[in-house]
Chains A and B, each alone.
Chain A
Amino acid sequence: MAPQQRKPHVCRNPDLIRGVGKYSRSKMYHKRGLWAIKAKNGGAFPKHEKKAVAAAPTEKPPKFYPADDVKKPLVNKRKARPTKLRASITPGTVLIILAGRFKGKRVVFLKQLTSGLLLVTGPFKINGVPLRRVNQSYVIATSTKVDISGVNVEKFDDKYFGKKVEKKKKKGEGEFFEAEKEEKSLLPQEKKDDQKSVDAALIQSIEAIPDLKSYLGARFSLKAGMKPHELVF
């Protein structure tokens, strides 16, 4: 038996109701074995010497007392956390996007980023949705899950999706309007390769399930007689 393993100790004095324990002071004295500790120490409770307090350096009185009291802000112990993820959304869940350019598209959920947004991919070859961030509120989670174990999403974070900061160019008066329109940002090859690598493993697991590929390629829409509050997704 390993010496480190200890069963967690059950409370010696269980509550009958809040504030009232089962055992009285005298019973608890006996239970805690304080009589045995005293006996070991020859009739009195063992005392430890007080630790010597280092003499604090003598403080000089302050030179300046402010006239008005300054209010201190209240203490705030809140921590910034990503939005709480709904229990129905787990890696590999098929989501239905409800707003934006890809509304109605069924899409695979990869992971939640530190900003709280959901990282999602079409896959691109199936329905044209690239690696993208989506807010949890604009999404319906279906109960269909895809196996996502072959996909590596470690490298994606919010910075990957941030807007690229351009260097400020000198404004020439005549060239002002022409120069602005010319540059269209092309998608860097690196992002295209990322998309391909993520989708490769995903598409394999999608093709394992019959009809799932065409399901992801189709858009969701409400038809006649469908009541959203009664539908099971």
Chain B
Amino acid sequence: MPFKRYVEIGRIALVNYGKDYGKLVVIVDVIDQNRALVDAPDMVRGQMNFKRLTLTDIKIDIKRVPNKKTLIAALEAADVKNKWESSSWGRKLIVQKKRASLNDFDRFKIMLAKIKKAGVVRQELAKLKKETTA
């Protein structure tokens, strides 16, 4: 019931609107009630409204407004990339991206694979059904 993900220095957030859509950023300072100073290894540090951010579970240990080098070192130390990509949210995003980039030929191959898998599952099911009724 209570809040678990707080806006704090070091909180990793996902950008959900705008030019940096889909990027993981670190909240590096809070400017006022609505805005945060936000930084990521591949972008210039800048302000962002909280409405554009979705907080994640990941938090890293940094002081207020670190320089880029310290920030990158802290991200490496906390292993944010792997934590994110192994989390269910991160995995879902990866799958979405993969699906969106599929070729027409890829979609065809996936269709064949799905049919094959369904066939195998159905065979197993039929076998099990036979065993229980026999």
Contact = CB atoms under 8 A, between A and B. Distances in A.
Contacts of B112: 211, 214
Contact of A142 (B100, B101, B103, B109): B103
Contacts of B104: 94, 96, 106, 142-144, 220, 231-233
Give the interface residue-count category, chain B. under 10
A45 interface: no
B108 A232 contact: no
Interface string B92-134: 0000000011111100110010000000000000000000000
A179 interface: no
A138 interface: no
Chain B interface main SS type: helix
A201 B112 CA distance: 26
Interface in A206-233: 211-212, 214-215, 218, 220, 230-233
A143 B108 contact: no
A122 to B, nearest CB: 16
Contacts of B102: 232
B117 to A, nearest CB: 15
Contacts of A96: 104
Contacts of B109: 211, 215
Interface string A92-120: 00101000000000100000000000000
Contacts of B105: 94, 142, 144, 211-212, 215
Nearest to A220: B104
Contacts of A231: 104
Nearest to B109: A211
Given A211-B109, A211-B112, A143 B103 contact: yes
B108 A233 contact: no
Nearest to B99: A232
Contacts of B108: 211, 214-215, 218
A179 to B, nearest CB: 48
In this complex, the member of A96, A143, A214, A232 whose beta carbon has the largest number of chain B beta carbons within 10 angstroms is A232
Interface of B: 100-105, 108-109, 112
25 contacts: A94-B104, A94-B105, A96-B104, A106-B104, A142-B105, A143-B104, A144-B103, A144-B105, A211-B105, A211-B108, A211-B112, A212-B105, A214-B108, A214-B112, A215-B105, A215-B108, A215-B109, A230-B100, A231-B104, A232-B100, A232-B101, A232-B102, A232-B103, A232-B104, A233-B104
Interface of A: 94, 96, 106, 142-144, 211-212, 214-215, 218, 220, 230-233
What are the 10 tightest A-B residue pairs by CB atom distance, in nearest-first order?
A144-B105, A142-B104, A215-B108, A233-B104, A211-B109, A143-B103, A215-B105, A232-B101, A232-B103, A211-B112
Given A143-B104, A214-B108, A232-B104, 19 more contacts: A106-B104, A142-B103, A142-B104, A144-B103, A144-B104, A211-B108, A211-B109, A211-B112, A212-B105, A214-B112, A215-B105, A215-B109, A218-B108, A230-B100, A231-B104, A232-B100, A232-B101, A232-B102, A233-B103
